[in-house]
Amino acid sequence: MVSQILKEARNYEETEGTQIPADKRPLFHLTPYIGWMNDPNGFSQYNGSYHLFYQYYPYKKKWGPMHWGHAVTKDLLKWEFLPAAIAPDTEPDSGGCFSGSALSMDNGKHLLLYTGVVKLNDMDEDTFLQTQCLAEGDGVDYVKYEGNPVIGMKDIPEGLSKYDFRDPKMWREKDGTYRCVVGGCTNDKKGRILYFRSENAYDWKFVSVLAENDGSLGTMWECPDFFELDGKYVLLTSPQDVRQDKKYNCGNIVVAMIGTFDEETGIFHKETEQLVDAGIDFYATQTLLAEDGRRIMSAWMQNWDSIVHTIRSLRWFGQMVLPRELSVKDGKLIQKPVRELEKMRRNPVIAKDVLVENMVELDGVKGRTIDLTVRIRPESYSSYRKLEIRLASDGNVYTSLIYRPAECTLEFDRSNSGTRRATSHTRKCSVAENNGEIKLRIIMDRYSVEVFVNDGEQTLSNVIYTYQEADRISFVNHNGRALIDVEKYDLSFD
Ligand code: FRU
């Protein structure tokens, strides 16, 4: 039943993946079993566990013919690897199994809907014909549907490309029928989000174009997701090749469009649009609706343009973000670390009204697997211009978070983190004006820093590879006097 190609991947995981010591991975962020990982796929609950699959090439720390890696968890923090789920081993996916989604079905099966790609060899650049395929399984082994593809060339609306048609995200409606959104693109590279319906998840019908790129927001729109949340509809997508403007940085980004939706006509009316994460390493979001009602989001904590930032000594490449609980408030997407994280908190250190003039370090405020909340405000009658928090520091190497109250900006800077790669290591975003006050929740794992600003109004996700002994934290005031409240926990499963 298991193809030779999948068997090989599973054997490789068994012999090589199991050799990676636990402390050479993040503590609570998912990495690939071995080799390369990109987008989260098939994020779902099935038989009492959360399943998260991922775009996967086990044999190198490089993108290659895509498999789906597979992990499960009960708490979204402690991950357990399962054998690779699917491999490029049938005709419609001979070039790779690209991104897709999963659902738990009434017949007890776990159903995967993914993009099968067929590589064309006569082009300079890799070009793939793309269709949507199904595989059905029991949570470990999956069998590809003989009728694949279930959404094929003939279903692509007129004028759209056969080479950019991917990343189906499906869900089930209350009436038991199914929906999916798929990323599409015009032949002149303007992204489209396509909406499909199905009675049974096998026969799909195109309904409408949910959203379209008029040419001002990148090219192809990848990895769409669409759901109702707090009385609004949210469309998430990852536009490629965005040009810098006042609103967005250049490169591949993730945006959320929030608005209203008419299910009858399939028309989505966008009211607001925003960047989802202002950090360096964030792409390809995927959400699930948990059985307890939470809308939880995963994403690749990496970006295509930042993949040069790596180190040789690790045998894996790519991580997922800490899963986040989403909500919508005043037309804005709010993100919070999943509440399960609070169970990992150990050794609280609380300090209030600490005056920061020049440089301050606090007893017990250090570490590389921590949950740290810092509230910053001006000391009365005086103000300050630039307050820096140095993380993962040994005095010489450090990663900075810099708040400039007058400018209302927050900057992340890992240029001094020990990296030797000449790529962009800084990101700056605007934050709410609030009389020089800001609240930052900083979640650090061994190889990452995720920042949640003002209770999730903004986030910045970033990878760092600073050696683990660099664990000091300091607060540096470059000009003036500020007060901080600090609440810090070590994060641990023990
Ligand atoms: C996004 C993406 C998807 C595609 C996958 C291939 O990062 O380009 O559109 O399905 O990666 O690995």
Taking the CA atoms of residue 474, residue 453, residue 253 and residue 272 in that order, the dihedral angle to the nearest 10 degrees is -160
**Residue 217 one-letter amino acid:** L
Q: How far is the CA of 319 from the centre of ligand 1 (A)?
A: 15
Percent of the chain with pLDDT over 70: 99
Note every long-range contact of 208-212, with CB atoms under 8 Å and residues 24 or more positions apart, other chains counting: 208/265, 208/266, 208/267, 209/157, 209/184, 210/181, 210/235, 210/266, 210/268, 211/235, 211/237, 211/257, 211/268, 211/270
| Residue located nearest, by CA, to atom 6 of ligand 1 | 98
Mean pLDDT of 455-473: 98
Task: Give the mean pLDDT of the chain.
Answer: 97
What is the pLDDT averaged over residues 351-376? 97
CB within 6 Å of ligand 1 — which residues? 38-39, 55, 66, 98-99, 115, 166-167, 222-223, 283-284
Task: Choose the catalytic residue: 23, 39, 262, 363.
Answer: 39
To test the pocket of ligand 1, the residue of 37, 38, 60, 131 to mutate (highest count of ligand atoms within 8 Å of its CB) is: 38
CA dihedral (20, 22, 23, 25) positive or negative: positive
Nearest atom in ligand 1 to the alpha carbon of residue 115 is 10
pLDDT digits (tens, 9 = 90+) for 300-313: 999 999 999 999 99
Q: What are phi and psi of 196, to 5 degrees?
A: -125, 155
Q: Which atom of ligand 1 is nearest to the CA of 304?
A: 7
| The pLDDT of residue 122 is above 70 | no
Q: What angle do CA 22, 26, 29 make, to 5 degrees?
A: 120
- Per-residue model confidence (pLDDT) at position 284: 98
Spacing, Cα 435 to ligand 1 middle (Å): 42
In the reported structure, the alpha carbon of residue 431 is separated from the centroid of ligand 1 by a whole-number distance in angstroms of 30
Instruction: Report strand pairing: 35-46 vs 316-317.
Output: parallel
**Ligand 1 centroid vs 39 CA: distance in angstroms?**
6
Residue nearest to atom 8 of ligand 1 (CA): 222
Could you tell me the pLDDT band of residue 383, with boundaries at 50, 70 and 90? confident
Q: What is the mean pLDDT of residues 320-336?
A: 98
Q: Which of 93, 166, 236 to mutate to test the pocket of ligand 1 (most atoms within 8 A of CB)?
A: 166
Give the pLDDT score at 382. 73
123 pLDDT higher than 70: no
3-state secondary structure the chain: CCCHHHHHHHHHHHHCHHHCCHHHCCCCCCCCCCEEEEEEEEEEEECCEEEEEEEEECCCCCCCCCEEEEEEECCCCCCEEEEEEECCCCHHHCCEEEEEEEEECCCCCEEEEEEEEEEECCCCCCEEEEEEEEEEECCCCEEECCCCCCECHHHCCCCECCCCCEEEEEEECCCCCEEEEEEEEECCCCEEEEEEEECCCCCEEEEEEEEECCCCCCCCEEEEEEEEECCEEEEEEEECCECCCCCCCCECCCEEEEEEEECCCCEEEEEEEEECCCCCCCEEEEEEECCCCCEEEEEECCCHHHCCCCCCCCCEECCECCCEEEEEECCEEEEEECHHHHHHEEEEEEEEEEEEEEEECCCCCECCCEEEEEEEEECCCCCECCEEEEEEECCCCCEEEEEECCCCEEEEECCCCCCCCCCCCEEEEECCCCCCCEEEEEEEECCEEEEEECCCCEEEEEECCCCCCCCEEEEEEEEEEEEEEEEEEEECCC
Q: What is the pLDDT of residues 85-111, one digit of tens each?
A: 999 999 999 999 999 999 999 999 999
Which residue type sits at 52?
L
Q: Which atom of ligand 1 is nearest to the CA of 100?
A: 10
Q: If pLDDT is split at 50, 70 and 90, which confidence band does 343 have?
A: very high
Mutate to test the pocket of ligand 1, among 55, 238, 321 (most ligand atoms within 8 A of CB): 55
Tell me the CA–centroid distance for residue 222 and ligand 1, in Å. Answer: 7
Q: Is the pLDDT of residue 148 over 80?
A: yes
Is the pLDDT at 126 greater than 80? The verdict is: no
Stated pTM of the model: 0.97
Tell me the domains of the chain and their CATH numbers: 4-340 (2.115.10.20), 342-491 (2.60.120.560)
Torsion sign (Cα): 394, 398, 401, 405 = positive
Quote the pLDDT of residue 38: 98
In ligand 1, which atom is closest to the CA atom of 167? Answer: 10
| Dihedral sign of CA atoms 127, 130, 135, 139 in order | positive
Does the annotation count 39 as an active-site position?
yes
- Do 178 and 197 meet the contact criterion of CB atoms below 8 Å apart? yes
| Ligand 1 atom with the shortest distance to the CA of 223 | 9
pLDDT of residue 1: 78
Structure confidence by residue, pLDDT tens digits, 13-36: 999 999 999 999 999 999 999 999
Distance 40 CA to ligand 1 centre (A): 10
